Structure 1
Amino acid sequence: MHEHQTQMITSFDGTPLAIHRLGEGRPVLLLHGLFSSAEMNWLRFGHAALLAGAGFECLMPDLRAHGESGAPHDPEAYPQGVLTQDLAAVVKALGLDDYDLAGFSLGARTAAAAVIDGLAPRRLALCGMGLEGLSGWQRRSAFFLDAIDRFDEVKRGDAAFMAVAFMKQMKVDRVAARLLLTSVDDIAAGDLAKITMPTAVICGDKDGDNGSSEKLAEALPDAHHVTIPGTHMSSVTEADLGMAIRDFLAEN
């Protein structure tokens, strides 16, 4: 597969978090999407290798309840905003002060929330995310909670079929995933003004899963919109995603 290294850190509450690393140079934190992992989102389709080749050190955590990170079944392990607290713990554990931040889908949502909470990357890339996916998260979350609850009865043709198939492929811990979904808050539209660093909103041309990416770019103080090919699921498999992140981060 890919020559990457994995280290474990301990988050604010003792939960172990896996961080996968590839490349040397300017650090960029890459946050994967819901039910995915660093391996699936960033390594498998070559995005991390592309960034590493451009002089970046890719730091790719597995989110809580995903990949090789801890997936506790105790509801107390999922306070509101737990993913942003985990991200702050990662930044602290790695001693990052000058770095870039990119996230896909739930990773983009986590990145935006963390910046609102005080993280200050030089540049921010929000991928596979629209305005409604930030401010109307409860609707999106309800779709996935329903998919988890009906997991064994969902058939082809059901709106939840793709989500359930992906959960099966990724061997998702459904108890932990369900708890995690309930810990994610809506982001108030007014708080987007706090995202002041240069931001790229990168989204597939057929990806409306999280609402309008154009509206999200318009709502941010210093953002531009980048269109890449694909749907929410397929855009991750296309080299264009990695190239769009690379081109944005390489700008002066």
Structure 2
Amino acid sequence: MPVPTSPLVHRLVPAPAGRVHLVEQGSGPLVLLVHGFPEGWYAWRHQLPALAAAGYRAVAVDVRGYGRSSRPADPDAYRVRELVDDAVAVVEALGERTAVVVGHDWGSSVASNAALMRPDVFRAVAMLGVPYAPRGGPRPSTVFASMGGDEEFYVSYFQEPGRAEAEIEPDVRGWLAGFYAALSADTMPGPGAPSPYFTGPGGTLRERFPADRRPAWLTDTELDVFAAEFERTGMSGALARYRAVDRDWEDLAAYDGAPVTQPSLFIGGELDASITWMADAIDAFPVTLPGLVSSHILEGCGHWVQQERPEDTSRLLTDWLSALPPAAC
């Protein structure tokens, strides 16, 4: 694939909470890329040039709470409807009327809900790692609290402001390296090892992370980029997304069980725990994603789909994009 001549362009654009930092490359139909935890726009460093080379205007944002985007103090500001508003604001600030939205991890949830709530703006949606699951069932915090028996699920561990920050912030780089390794196919704990998604009584997440190996996809330089951002901003903005899950459940009551009808794509990693936990959501795609074009589980891939398997991910995205109906003028 030819390398595009257009450079990466950093911009700050107005958004409801103040500003969104974005990085764009290329020209053509707009493709908005939304990262997950704990990442940033840089998680899409491989897809930006690939999409630009394929004839798209690729735009990767720092989600609210990350990087150079605004970081409100109130956890209510991180509910998904607010992040959908940010995505709409980016499309408008770029002078566009519509976009294709692509998300990974938490970004997948933002992307699918953006398509659900604003079908007038988001004409198609691709989800990486986390499948679409319509709102429904009990309050999320109740579900998470019931998981793990005597151990505590990581989402519950993240709920109390300051608790996870106290674990992570004294050594952001080391914590990130361990977290990335724990969820990567080539470095994740083996069968029978304590799960890195849970903590024992009085324990930490980090004590279950691999401490002696680094994923093949992550160089020292790349780790430095991620770490430098969180060392500058702290972790509270990123963790606030987890602290808004019950607010999402309340806000989305009107969409209980609602399908996303636009053309869609799902890409997951075979070894990503989300694929196991949310197997029922994948099985329900014929009902919940009636516009699904294709679904792909990448063999031997972990959670960090677009970074572990950048060429496969970019190829699947560009093939899917090329088959979409053209954007309306």
Match of 2:285 in 1: 217
Which residue is 1:3 aligned to?
7
**AA matched with 2:38:** F
2:123 pairs with 1:122:
yes
Q: Which of 212, 234, 249 pairs up with 1:173? A: 234
Q: 1 CA distance for matches of 2:243 and 2:28?
A: 36
- Which among 16, 21, 28 is matched to residue 18 of structure 1? 21
Assess, with a 3 A threshold, how the Cα gap between structure 1 residues 79 and 233 changes in structure 2: closer, same or farther: closer
Q: Figure out how many residues of one structure are paired with residues of the other and give that number.
A: 245
Task: Report the counterpart of residue 149 of structure 2 in structure 1.
Answer: none
1:227 counterpart (283, 297, 315): 297
The yes-or-no answer on 1:248 pairing with 2:249 is: no
**1:28 Cα deviation (Å)?**
0.6
Report if the CA contact (8 A) 1:217-1:225 is conserved.
Answer: no
- Whether contact under 8 Å (1:36, 1:67) holds in the other structure is no
Give the AA of the match of 2:262: M
Answer yes or no: is the 8 Å Cα contact 2:128–2:305 preserved in 1: no
Change in 2 beyond 3 A, CA 1:232/1:92: same
* Partner Cα distance (2:51, 2:135) in 1: 26
The residue number in structure 2 matching 1:199 is 264
| Matched-pair contact (CA < 8 Å) for 2:136–2:257 | no
The runs of at least 4 aligned residues of structure 1 exceeding 3 Å deviation read: 74-80, 131-141, 143-148, 150-159, 165-170, 186-192
Specify the alignment match of 2:159 in structure 1.
145
TM-score (norm: length of structure 1) = 0.81
Preserved CA contact (<8 Å) 2:75 2:244: no
Higher mean displacement: 58-67 or 130-139:
130-139
Identity %: 22
Offset, 1:241: 1.6
Structure having the higher Rg: 2
Q: CA RMSD in A?
A: 3.3
Q: Give 1:31's aligned residue.
A: 34
TM-score normalised according to structure 2 size: 0.64
Please, which runs of 5 or more residues in structure 2 have no aligned partner? 1-5, 145-153, 169-174, 179-193, 198-204, 215-222, 325-329
Tell me if structure 2 keeps the 8 A contact 1:133–1:211: no
Write the mapping of 1:84-123 to structure 2, written as runs, cut at 5 A.
84-120=84-120, 121-123=122-124
